Structure 1
Amino acid sequence: MAGRRRGRGSNVQQQQASQSQRGGPRRALREPAAFAKSTGYESEIPHEKLTIAKARRGTPAHRPVRVYADGIFDLFHSGHARALMQAKNVFPNTYLIVGVCSDELTHKFKGYTVMTEDERYDALTHCRYVDEVVRDAPWTLTTEFLKKHKIDFVAHDDIPYTSAGSEDVYKHIKEAGMFVATQRTEGISTSDLITRIVRDYDIYVRRNLQRGYTARELNVGFINEKKYRLQNQVDKMKETVRTVEEKSKHFVYRVEEKSQDLIHKWEEKSREFIGNFLELFGPDGAWHAIQERSGRMLQALSPYSSPRGSPSSSPTRRRSVSPDSSPASASASPSPSPSSLSPPSSPSSPKKGTRSSLKSSSTYSSQ
């Protein structure tokens, strides 16, 4: 068995290498499963009966265990795929045959289907666990059918399947020792999917109306069509309002965040400005120190003013001499009388003292 697996792996590697050398596109994992022949399984090798123990130990490569699983497979979903995966892996070397019942049998014994039989046949061929699909499979397995397709074992969940007047249609298969059980996937089934559609019928009708289906295609009356279209418009308006509200909330939040940030920065800057102002203009600040230093410098550079009546401020020093008088006459002229002299001019009115001095000088020269 191990040697067969190594040989198979080497063949796969050789195929991949040849494809890479040819430069062609990489093929899929496998081709779609084939449909069973109408005449059944044909082989020159005799088909001996297998026990479950022998099948679990493994069979030769030319003699895989032929396992059969049947069903309706309407709205093919993950629950179907998981059941087929278990049937495929129940033995080390398995050839999985899947039987699909026709619409006629299904409508008679179970009910109306969503997918047609051709759609269900085709869906099964694209499941990677399936090796062969039997169309128009029987509702109850007969001995003739098992021999025709050389079926070794039948895979299905172990729950009794009551149908066609029988408490369990797989009872005779179980008694013959040809039954292998699989586990159902809880929470998913075709009936569950149909229940969802029926429960939310209005939603799906409105959905398809939005996608361009006509009311006639959906089997919807005129009044219901208008009602559904009005509901669609109302939902659009609600969604628009909700979007505007969300955007406005986001805008307000951003404005509040920005305003708080600006206030915080303004507070920091104002504190910094006040601190710098106090440091510069406060009682112990630099500006006060500069003023004191400048005052001391001015006092040191500027002398104190002379007292009133000092020689530097006497009127005789500022007396002007007439241009007609010569130096000789100036020396011969007698000293003016104290009465003719003008009083000393105050520092605040130098012009008046100057005019008085000029007047007394001219009077003295005329005498």
Structure 2
Amino acid sequence: MLDLKSNSTDSSINHTMPRKRARSHSIEVTSLPILQHIEPITSGYCMAAPFSEDPVPCRIRAECDYSIKIDVETAKRGAAPRTVRVYADGAFDLFHQGHARLLQQAKSLFPRVYLIVGVSSDENIHSYKANMVLNEAERYDAVRHCRYVDEVLRNAPSVYTDEFLEKNKIDFVARDDIPHDFEDVEGTYAELKRRGMLVATEKTNMVSTSNIVARIVKNYDIYVRRNLARGYSAKELNVSFLKEKKLKFQNKMDELKDKGKELIDTLGERTDDMISKWEDVSREVVENFLLYFFRKPLKILHNSKKKILRAITPPESTDEENCDIYLTKRRKML
């Protein structure tokens, strides 16, 4: 992961495109601005960063003229006569986004930076009474595959001596502005700060290896059950026989709960389909019922209303008929 980006950029500037291709190329670039951040795919760029003792870093270090001293202001302006060599170090246990952002900041301190990353060995860490999750080989390999790293220094020292700085031709040391509790800030970094070789980086809040370990410890049973379900043995997880059986029983109960929930959801979907179909059918049944047992009788009743009224109401008599009826009644009375 050497600084191939600058080389590829320079070569692209000097390259002259044919006249017929120039217009189409400019249209392609302007129409796809979102792709401008993509690095060119080369075999060198996709390789893991080499170790300090490998041939390529040794050659780059030998070609560097360390007699030319570079101050911070010159480096920030991009006026340095050579590539600026920046050094950052740490344990990098359980490599996470906080580590990646630290190295990104170190790589972006100046326009042209060759980033050397030192990784502490197990022996050095144990001297501080600290324990790591990953061993040194695993931590070396994790840092090598970070895209911002140009070179990895194994067994990084805890003290920056003049011999160490000159051997690796380091111009600046990048460190978090908030140091760790076990670090001797006054003794380790005071001299670098006096020389103007210490550059601060910003620490990522709430992201650290200790924070990740705390989350795992807090949810210990969950992660043990997770690994038991994935085939790990109780011995590998350092749990007792009874604890193993208890956690496996809990896993089985969770499986049954999930299956029951899926069954209920499936039945619920089927019930919804049945209800929807029944609503369609019932709507048709109700309409037919109303048509044959309510609307038609009303129509028949409406059409035969006069006939019914005539059947139950006596016909109206005329005046002559009324007079005859009166006279007949009078004669009977006489």
Q: TM-score, normalised by structure 1?
A: 0.66
- Deviation of the 1:87 alpha carbon: 0.7
- The 1:49–1:272 alpha-carbon spacing in structure 2 relative to 1, beyond 3 Å, is farther
Out of 1, 4, 7, the position equivalent to 2:10 is 7
1:48 partnered with 2:74: no
- Deviation of the 1:269 alpha carbon: 4.2
Structure 1 CA distance for aligned equivalents of residues 208 and 79 of structure 2: 34
SS of the residue corresponding to residue 160 of structure 1 reads coil
Out of 179, 182, 185, the position equivalent to 1:160 is 179
**1:130-145 correspondence runs (5 A):** 130-145=149-164
- Deviation of the 1:169 alpha carbon: 3.5
Aligned length: 272
CA contact (8 A) 1:160 1:167 kept: no
Structure 2 CA distance for aligned equivalents of residues 212 and 113 of structure 1: 25
* Structure 2 match to 1:57: 77
Structure having the larger proportion of residues in helix: 2
- Deviation of the 1:209 alpha carbon: 1.2
Query: Structure 1: which amino acid aligns with 2:117?
Result: V
Structure 2 CA distance for aligned equivalents of residues 75 and 245 of structure 1: 41
Query: Structure 2: which amino acid aligns with 1:230?
Result: F
Query: Structure 2: which amino acid aligns with 1:259?
Result: W
- Deviation of the 1:35 alpha carbon: 0.6
Out of 164, 186, 196, the position equivalent to 2:215 is 196
* Larger RCO: 1 or 2 (CA < 8 Å, sep 6+): 2
CA contact (8 A) 1:205 1:218 kept: yes
* Structure 1 match to 2:190: 171
SS of the residue corresponding to residue 98 of structure 1 reads strand
CA contact (8 A) 2:88 2:115 kept: yes
Larger Rg: 1
**1:331-342 correspondence runs (5 A):** none
SS of the residue corresponding to residue 86 of structure 2 reads strand
SS of the residue corresponding to residue 200 of structure 2 reads strand
- Deviation of the 1:151 alpha carbon: 0.5
* Structure 2 match to 1:30: 46
Structure 2 CA distance for aligned equivalents of residues 225 and 12 of structure 1: 66
Structure 1 CA distance for aligned equivalents of residues 8 and 254 of structure 2: 59
1:56-108: CA deviations, max 9, x gaps?
11146x72100011011111111111111111011001100000000111122
CA contact (8 A) 2:87 2:174 kept: yes
- The 1:44–1:201 alpha-carbon spacing in structure 2 relative to 1, beyond 3 Å, is closer
- The 1:47–1:274 alpha-carbon spacing in structure 2 relative to 1, beyond 3 Å, is farther
- The 1:274–1:173 alpha-carbon spacing in structure 2 relative to 1, beyond 3 Å, is farther
**1:220-259 correspondence runs (5 A):** 220-259=239-278
1:68 partnered with 2:84: no
1:292-347: CA deviations, max 9, x gaps?
xxxxxxxxxxxxxxxxxxxxxxxxxxxxxxxxxxxxxxxxxxxxxxxxxxxxxxxx
Uncovered stretches (5+) of structure 1, i.e. residues with no partner: 15-25, 289-367
SS of the residue corresponding to residue 109 of structure 1 reads coil
- Deviation of the 1:110 alpha carbon: 5.5
RMSD, matched Cα: 3.1
Shifted more, 222-231 versus 121-130: the winner is 222-231
* Structure 1 match to 2:314: none
- The 1:246–1:168 alpha-carbon spacing in structure 2 relative to 1, beyond 3 Å, is farther
Structure 1 CA distance for aligned equivalents of residues 64 and 185 of structure 2: 37
Query: Structure 1: which amino acid aligns with 2:254?
Result: D
Structure 1 CA distance for aligned equivalents of residues 73 and 171 of structure 2: 12
SS of the residue corresponding to residue 237 of structure 2 reads coil
Of all paired residues, the percent bearing the same amino acid is 43
CA contact (8 A) 2:178 2:203 kept: no
Query: Structure 1: which amino acid aligns with 2:199?
Result: V
SS of the residue corresponding to residue 209 of structure 1 reads helix
Q: TM-score, normalised by structure 2?
A: 0.72
1:263 partnered with 2:282: yes
Query: Structure 2: which amino acid aligns with 1:171?
Result: A
Shifted more, 171-180 versus 33-42: the winner is 33-42
- The 1:194–1:162 alpha-carbon spacing in structure 2 relative to 1, beyond 3 Å, is closer
Structure 2 CA distance for aligned equivalents of residues 242 and 196 of structure 1: 29
* Structure 1 match to 2:133: 114
* Structure 1 match to 2:97: 78
Query: Structure 2: which amino acid aligns with 1:30?
Result: C
Out of 76, 100, 103, the position equivalent to 2:122 is 103
- Deviation of the 1:43 alpha carbon: 2.4
1:12-52: CA deviations, max 9, x gaps?
999xxxxxxxxxxx645432111102897322635311010
Structure 1 CA distance for aligned equivalents of residues 104 and 223 of structure 2: 32
- Deviation of the 1:141 alpha carbon: 1.7
Uncovered stretches (5+) of structure 2, i.e. residues with no partner: 1-5, 18-40, 308-334
Out of 204, 207, 228, the position equivalent to 1:185 is 204
CA contact (8 A) 1:109 1:164 kept: no
CA contact (8 A) 1:100 1:135 kept: yes
SS of the residue corresponding to residue 63 of structure 2 reads coil
**1:310-329 correspondence runs (5 A):** none
- The 1:268–1:90 alpha-carbon spacing in structure 2 relative to 1, beyond 3 Å, is farther
